[in-house]
Amino acid sequence: MESTLMRRSDDGVTRRSAGELTLEWRADGSLWAVRDDEERPVSVRRCFPWSEPTRHLSLRDADEEEFALVRNPAELDPRSRAALETALAVAGFVFEVTRVLEIEEEVEIRRWQVETRQGPRTFQTRLDDWPRTLPHGGLLIRDLAGDLYHLAAPEQLDRQSRELLWAFVD
């Protein structure tokens, strides 16, 4: 990623170098990405690896198309980095599931009731969205709101949780 420092030209106008990315947290509570002559509101999605949750962040527009990838927030200017940190705090969490209480299938929706380290949660997924198996053997579920639910070791959950999850794991 190119340096994101702003440069003041001879005519007094502040310009960015081609390809530079800057981020702005706006008064309406949205994150905006600005690159070249283009700017748009974006949401933050964490990418893998899970061992580095603050790196490799995908900035996606309203159509869920990637506008930019931030490999390392330290490469951003301080103002952009602060905007990104605010967006990450607002965007939601990765909830650590400790117990599955109920999974109900409705018309095109699956409703989950779980206990997490952060407290009890109810969320919904599309019926055709299945938990993603992670390389270390855990499961990852993304709900309709974009929040992530991580089951580190499904085989170590209580019996009821395992029985409810049996359709999702081998």
- 152-169, pLDDT tens digit by residue? 889 999 999 999 998 877
Closest to 91 in 3D by CA, of 143, 40, 130, 52: 143
> Residue type at 13?
V
Distance of alpha carbon 107 from alpha carbon 89, whole angstroms: 32
| DSSP secondary structure letter of residue 74 | G
**What is the pTM (predicted TM-score) of this model?**
0.52
pLDDT in tens, 86-105: 887 666 667 889 999 999 99
Task: Provide mean pLDDT across the span 8-26.
Answer: 61
Q: What is the pLDDT of residue 29?
A: 81
Residue with token string 């952009």: 80
Q: What is the pLDDT of residue 11?
A: 41
Q: Quick one: what percent of the chain has pLDDT higher than 70? A: 81
Q: What is the pLDDT of residue 69?
A: 93
Q: Which residues contact 66 (CB under 8 A, 6 or more apart)?
A: 58, 59, 60
Task: Provide mean pLDDT across the span 9-34.
Answer: 71
pLDDT band at residue 50 using 50, 70 and 90 as cut-offs: low
- Domain boundaries of the chain, sorted by first residue: 7-91, 94-168
Distance of alpha carbon 152 from alpha carbon 61, whole angstroms: 30
Q: What is the pLDDT of residue 95?
A: 87
Indicate whether 125 pLDDT > 50.
Answer: yes
Higher-confidence position of 15 and 142: 142
